[in-house]
Amino acid sequence: MGDEAKLARLDARFPRKRAVITGGASGLGLATAEWLAKRGWRLGLLDRDVARLGEAVGALTALGAGAVSTHVVDVGDEGAVRQAVDEFAGAHGGLDYALNAAGVAVFAPFLDTPPQDWEWILRINVLGVASSCRAELPHMLASGGGLIVNVASAASFVCGGDMSAYSVSKAGVVALSESLDQEHRGSGVQVTAAMPGFFRTRLLEHARAPDDMLHTARKIMHKSNLEAPPVALEILERSARGERHVVLPREYRYLWRYKRLSPSAFQRFMIRFREKREAAARARKGG
């Protein structure tokens, strides 16, 4: 099946093709917008980056988007998020699909992570997603259905050391998504949690972390053979099929099942992994 054909199910479910995307100016958000633009969807992009939003309009219009509107919004500002979503839904008679992809990262040992970094990441990654859902849901409920995809991370279940704030924030996104999906299952609204592993994106541009940890994270991201477009396509396709949990790539699905089936064994596995990594780091320094 060709890439374009993979989205036929989404078009069939939502023939009016109206979508809003937070974090829509770059990374996974923009890649998702590009796939939808090729299918003639009408798009509302929410982001803080004015310059990238401006660039996205021309690119998405050239790809075939039915309409593109941009909204300069910090998802931590609930009033601004609601106003942007209301404006888009009002202009297009409703809302069918939402991708809540805006997010930030914090990496540091727990005792070295200041309270203000916890407040920052939770305000954006958890409260920002909650605010986005609170703005999107009424429009979907009014029209009898819709699909919300909240972008979490494989870090929501692969809870490694030195990333407690990030893991907590992404686990919160999964919990929120599951709760909302249960609440609205009978209304025609589906809520899916996407949990991708590391792929090449701009997440680290504004990350808060010690220099050595940020350097390591950038190396891991650079080595990833995953780019945003195929990740976006898989999330779109699998959520359109009705999947409530989208874990990718394949190796992370094995880890997800391992964690769910045997959490104690998984914790021991993670401890051994950390010990081996620390031993390798000591060996490199000694050499």
C-alpha to C-alpha distance for 22 and 30, rounded to whole angstroms = 9
Q: Which of 225, 224, 213 is nearest to 277 (CA)?
A: 213
Q: Encoding tokens for residue 283?
A: 């060996």
Q: Which of 159, 149, 236, 132 is nearest to 190 (CA)?
A: 149
**Residue 87: phi, psi to the nearest 5?**
-65, -45
Q: Judge whether 254 counts as a catalytic residue.
A: no
C-alpha to C-alpha distance for 13 and 190, rounded to whole angstroms = 12
C-alpha to C-alpha distance for 173 and 203, rounded to whole angstroms = 16
Q: Encoding tokens for residue 30?
A: 């923009």
- Angle (nearest 5°) at CA 199 between 196 and 204: 105
C-alpha to C-alpha distance for 61 and 53, rounded to whole angstroms = 12
Residue 240 C-alpha from the chain's centroid: 16
Say which of 97, 166, 252, 258 is annotated catalytic.
166
User: Any idea which residues carry the catalytic annotation?
Assistant: 166
